[in-house]
Amino acid sequence: MRKKDLELALEKAGGWGFPSPKKRYEQYVTPSSIVADLVWEAYTRGDIEGRVVADLGAGTGIFAYAAALLGAKTVLAAEIDLEALNLLAARLASEPRIHPVQVDVAVLAVPSRVDTVLQNPPFGVVRRHADRVFFEKALEIGSAIYTLHKSNPETRRLLLRVAGERGFECSVAKTYNFPIPQVYREHFRRIYYVSVDAYICRRSKE
């Protein structure tokens, strides 16, 4: 499978939207092109095929599905919103390697460290520092992390510092122009674009 094939498979599957988007969780669908690009990057670095993967804030499952398509051994799809999780479970029932779990990421516990974490957490616009909760949980449970965060110098300094303190080598791999559709009442434009950084972090050898 090529990266373009992965993107086409995600687009063909479709239906990744939330049944009723909840503002408090900042629920937006990550575009297939961004998911395919980031998960393919993880795949080429050896962090997907045959690996134990966690998708934190899995939503309706687009990252989890991409990981499964690229040969992940098992995928933990952790999501707090039961409505979204039920849709994920129904749509991806034919993928036995994907295991949906309803849980607040802040209190997620795993029996052993996962190989790879994929995530597009809330940007922290509605609940300040919501993205940091996800980032710190990823550092706690994962060995390799691929995560998206709103792009700004302050956030970069903070996340890179926190990662270093936790024993990770971390860098901003690329920046995406992330489209946010007119979902919530206060949205006045049909679509907004937000600059989003993709961080790749790897635990230093212990």
- Percentage of the chain lying above the pLDDT 90 cut: 77
Give the confidence band of 15 by pLDDT, cuts at 50, 70, 90: confident
Tokens of 54: 């966690």
Q: What integer pLDDT is reported at residue 129 of this predicted model?
A: 75
Q: What integer pLDDT is reported at residue 192 of this predicted model?
A: 82
Q: How far apart are CA 48 and CA 68, in angstroms?
A: 8
In the chain, the number of structural domains is 1
pLDDT tens across 21-46, in order?
A: 888 888 888 999 999 999 999 999 99
143 pLDDT exceeds 60?
yes
Q: What integer pLDDT is reported at residue 182 of this predicted model?
A: 67
Kindly report the CATH number assigned to the domain that includes residue 149: 3.40.50.150
CA distance from start to end of the chain = 33
Domain interval for residue 138 = 3-203
